[in-house]
Structure 1
Amino acid sequence: MYDIVIVGYGPSGVTAANLAAMQGLRIAIVEKDTDVFPRQRAISCDDEVMRVFQTIGLVGPIRAAMHEGVTSKFVTSKGKEILSLASSITHNGYHQRNFFHQPHLEGELRNGILRYPELVDLFLGHEAVSVVNGPDTATVTIKSTTDDRNTILEGKYVFACDGGSSTIRKSLGIPMEGTSLPDPWFDVQGETLQPMQGTPYFKFICDPKRPGVDCPCPGGMHRFEWRINKGDNVGQMSSKVWSIINDLARKGSGNPALKINEENLDVKRTWQYTFHVRRATQWRMGRVFLLGDAAHIMPAFAGAGMASAIRDTVNLVWKVKAVIDGRASDSLLDTYEDEREPHAAAITKYAEKLGKIVQVKNPVLASLRNSYFRTIRHIPGLKSYTNSMKGKPVPGFQSGFVARPNHQKTPVGRTFPNYDVGTENGRMLLDDYMGQDLCIFGLNADPRTLLTPEELSAWEAWGARFIRIRTGTLVVGHDEVGDPVGRLWEWFQKNNNAQLAIVRPDRIVYGVDSDRVDLSPRFAEVKTKTTA
Structure 2
Amino acid sequence: MTDTAAALDCDVLVVGFGPTGAVAAGLLGRLGHRTLVIDRLTDVYNKPRAIALDHEIFRHLDNMGLADAISPYIEPFTASEHFGVDGQLIRRIDMVAKPYPLGYTPSMVFSQPAVEAELRRHATGFSNVRAELGVELLGLVQAPDRVEACLKNSDGQNRSVTARYVLGCDGASSTVRQIAGLALEDLIFDEPWLVVDVRVNEDALARLPQCSAQFCNPARPVSFLIGPKNHRRWEIMLLPGEDGRQMERPENVWKLLAPWLTPQDGELWRAASYRFHALVATEWRNGRILIAGDAAHQQPPFIGQGMCQGLRDATNLVWKLDHVLKGVSSDGLLDSYGIERKQHVIELTGKIKAIGQSICERDPAAARRRDAQILADGSGKPQRLTRQEIIPPLRAGCLSQHEMPARGTLFPQPRIARGGAARLLDEVTGTGWRVLIDGRSDDAAFMLSLCAARPDVSAAAVVPAGAGLPNALEETEGVLANWFDRHGVVAAVVRPDHYVFGTARNASGLGDLLREIELRRRDVRPTQDSRSEMERTP
Which residue is equivalent to 1:158?
Answer: 166
Residue 406 of structure 2: aligned partner: 411
How many Å separate the matches in 2 of 1:71 and 1:53? Answer: 23
What residue is the counterpart of 1:491 in the other structure? 483
SS in 2 for 1:141: strand
Q: Which runs of 5+ in 2 are unaligned?
A: 1-8, 524-538
| Structure 1 residue 231, shift from structure 2 partner | 2.4
Partner of 1:92: 102
Does structure 2 retain, via aligned residues, the 8 Å contact 1:470–1:483?
A: yes
**What's 1:3 paired with?**
11
Deviations 1:344-376 (A, max 9, x none): 111101111111111111111112222222333
Distance between the aligned counterparts of 1:51 and 1:189, measured in 2?
27
Residues 189 and 267 of structure 1 are in contact (CA less than 8 Å); yes or no, is this contact kept in structure 2? yes
> What are the superposed Cα offsets for residues 202-226 of structure 1, whole Å, 9 maximum, x if unpaired?
1111111111122232253222221
Query: CA–CA distance in 1 between the matches of 2:467 and 2:58?
Result: 25
Retained in 2: the 8 A contact 1:424–1:476? no
SS of 1:184 mapped into structure 2: strand
Question: Which among 237, 241, 252 is matched to residue 240 of structure 1?
Answer: 252
Question: Does structure 2 retain, via aligned residues, the 8 Å contact 1:301–1:354?
Answer: yes
1:514 aligns with 2:505: yes
Q: Which residue of 1 aligns with 2:35?
A: 27
- The structure, 1 or 2, with the larger RCO (C-alpha pairs under 8 Å, 6+ apart) is 2
**Contact persistence 1:137–1:155 (CA under 8 A):** yes
Structure 1: distance between partners of 2:185 and 2:244:
28
Relative to structure 1, is the Cα distance of residues 448 and 502 closer, same or farther in structure 2, using a 3 angstrom cutoff? farther
Measure, in 2, the Cα distance between the counterparts of 1:389 and 1:494: 20
Give the secondary-structure state (helix, strand or coil) at the position aligned to 2:370: helix
Match of residue 193 from structure 1? 201
Matches within 5 A, 1:420-439: 420-423=415-418, 427-439=422-434
What is the aligned partner in structure 2 of residue 466 from structure 1? 459
Q: Does 1:54 align with 2:62?
A: yes
Q: CA deviation at 1:525?
A: 4.3
Decide which moves more: 480-489 or 237-246: 480-489
Alpha-carbon distance in 2 for matches of 1:155, 1:113: 18
| Pair 1:306–1:474, CA change in 2 (3 A) | farther
Secondary structure of the corresponding residue to residue 258 of structure 2: helix
Displacement, 1:389?
3.1
Give TM-score scaled by structure 2 length. Answer: 0.86
> Is the partner of 1:302 in helix, strand or coil?
coil
Partner in structure 2 of residue 217 of structure 1: 227
- 1:450 is displaced (CA, Å) by 2.4
* Alpha-carbon offset, residue 134 of structure 1: 1.7
SS of the residue corresponding to residue 267 of structure 1 reads strand
- For residues 468 and 341 of structure 2, what CA distance do their matches in structure 1 show? 38
**Change beyond 3 A, Cα 1:400–1:214:** closer
Q: Is the 8 A contact 1:421 1:430 kept in 2?
A: yes
Change (3 A) 1:331 1:306: same
**Contact 1:423 1:475 (8 Å CA) reproduced:** no
CA 1:231–1:177: 2 relative to 1, 3 Å: same
Equivalent in the alignment of 1:130:
139
Cα pair distance change 1:67/1:360, threshold 3 Å: same
The CA deviation at 1:288 is 1.1
Q: Which residue of 2 aligns with 1:72?
A: 80
What is aligned with 2:398? 401
Residue pair 2:375, 2:382 contacting (<8 A) in 1 also: no
Of 215-224 and 413-422, more deviation after overlay is shown by 215-224
Q: Deviations over 1:405-435 (max 9, x none)?
A: 1x4x512211111110134695310122233
Cα deviation 1:282-311 (Å, max 9, x = unaligned): 101111111111111111112111111111
SS of equivalent to 2:387: coil
For residues 147 and 67 of structure 2, the distance between their equivalents in structure 1, rounded to whole angstroms, comes to 33
Describe the shift of the 1:142–1:434 C-alpha distance in structure 2 as closer, same or farther (beyond 3 A).
farther
1:206 to 179, 192, 216: 216
Of 17, 26, 37, which aligns to 2:25?
17
CA distance in structure 2 between the partners assigned to 1:501 and 1:384 by the alignment: 37
1:503 equivalent to 2:494? Answer yes
Counterpart amino acid of residue 151 in structure 1: R
> What CA deviation, in whole Å up to 9, does each residue of 1:62-92 have, x standing for no partner?
2322221421111135532211101235412
**Match for residue 176 of structure 1 among 178, 184, 197:** 184
Q: Which moved more, 1:157-166 or 1:385-394?
A: 385-394
1:103 is aligned to 2:113: yes
- Match for 1:213: what amino acid? S
Provide the rounded CA distance (Å) in 1 between the counterparts of 2:70 and 2:375: 37
Pick closer, same or farther for the CA change 1:471–1:203 going to 2, 3 Å. closer
When the two chains are superposed, the root-mean-square deviation of aligned CA atoms in Å is 2.6
Distance change >3 Å, CA 364–CA 415, structure 1 → 2: same
In the aligned structure 1, how far is the partner of 2:110 from the partner of 2:39?
Answer: 22
SS at match of 2:32: coil
The residue number in structure 2 matching 1:481 is 473
Give 1:31 shift: 0.8
The aligned amino acid for 1:487 is V
Deviation of 1:447 after TM superposition, in Å, equals: 6.8
Structure 2: distance between partners of 1:87 and 1:471:
25
Shift in Å, 1:59: 1.9
Residues 138-166 of structure 1: per-residue CA shift (max 9 Å, x gap): 1222212x321123222211111111110
Amino acid across the alignment from 2:201? L
Q: Quick one: percent identity of the two aligned structures?
A: 28
> May I ask how many residue pairs the two structures share in their alignment?
501
Matched residue, 2:296: 295
TM-score, normalised via structure 1 length = 0.87
**1:189 CA displacement:** 1.9
- Give CA-to-partner distance per residue, 1:14-56, whole Å, 9 cap, x none: 1111211121122111111111100111111212111111111
Matching residue's letter, 1:396: L
* 8 Å Cα contact 1:28-1:122 kept in structure 2: yes
**Does 2:175 match 1:167?**
yes
Q: Secondary structure at the match of 1:386?
A: strand
Contact 1:474 1:483 in 2 (8 A): no
Structure 1 unaligned blocks of 5 or more: 250-259, 527-532
